[in-house]
Amino acid sequence: MQAAINRQSVDLSDYPDLVMIMLGFRIRTMRGLLAMLRIGPGLAQIARQQPDGLLAHEGMMFSLLHFGFRQYWRDLDALEAFTRSEPHADWWKRIRELSAGAGFWHETYHARGGVEALYVAMPDPVGLQHFAPARQPVGRFMSARARVQGGAEPAIA
């Protein structure tokens, strides 16, 4: 006799503005490995301290040199407040230094609709890059909020 399958679901009615973000880091060189080791303590701090609005933080490995995180945020305002605070704000100030030898990416999915993504120094396509046309994150599209709201800017060739 087969055991019953334990099927479950979740009630997200208390989270109408839920945002899920996937973050990835791909190490390409030893310098990239050193950059990731410098970022590691900040990532551990985020998981330990759970900034306001962070509902869950999970680590994952895509391959030996490609790892990432999945985070669930209460809403976009909480996620944006976090990105403007430390340690995240410092990482983006130092992105040129940190991306020497490593690639970074994120894809953000909003419960109310909309998806946005950013890829920095990735050697190969990942995630949405496999099928969606590229668009330069310049001008108003430098902001994740603007990217998720879309726009009529044409794709690049």
CB 45 within 8 A of CB 93: no
pLDDT digits (tens, 9 = 90+) for 77-110: 999 898 887 776 677 666 667 668 899 999 999 9
Residue 48: pLDDT over 90: no
**Mean pLDDT over all residues of the chain?**
86
By the 8 A CB rule, do 128 and 93 touch? Answer: no
C-alpha dihedral over 28, 31, 32, 34, to 10 degrees?
140
Prediction pTM value: 0.84
CA proximity to 38, closest of 94, 118, 107: 94
- DSSP notation for 2-71: PPPP-------TT-TT-EEEEEEEEE-SHHHHHHHHHHHHHHHHHHHH--TTEEEEEEEEEETTEEEEEE
pLDDT for 156: 43
Separation of alpha carbons 19 and 15, rounded Å: 9
> How much is the pLDDT for 11?
96
Higher-confidence residue of 20 and 44: namely: 20
- Read off the pLDDT of residues 55-73 as tens digits, 9 standing for 90 and up: 999 999 999 999 999 999 9
Q: How far apart are CA 109 and CA 74, in angstroms?
A: 12
> Where is average pLDDT lowest: 42-51, 88-97, 123-132?
88-97
- Using 50, 70 and 90 to split pLDDT, how confident is the model at 15? very high
Residue 14 confidence (pLDDT) above 80: yes
Instruction: Give me the CATH topology for the region 19-149.
Output: Alpha-Beta Plaits (3.30.70)
Choose between 146 and 77: higher pLDDT: 77
Cα(87)–Cα(48) distance, rounded to whole angstroms?
13
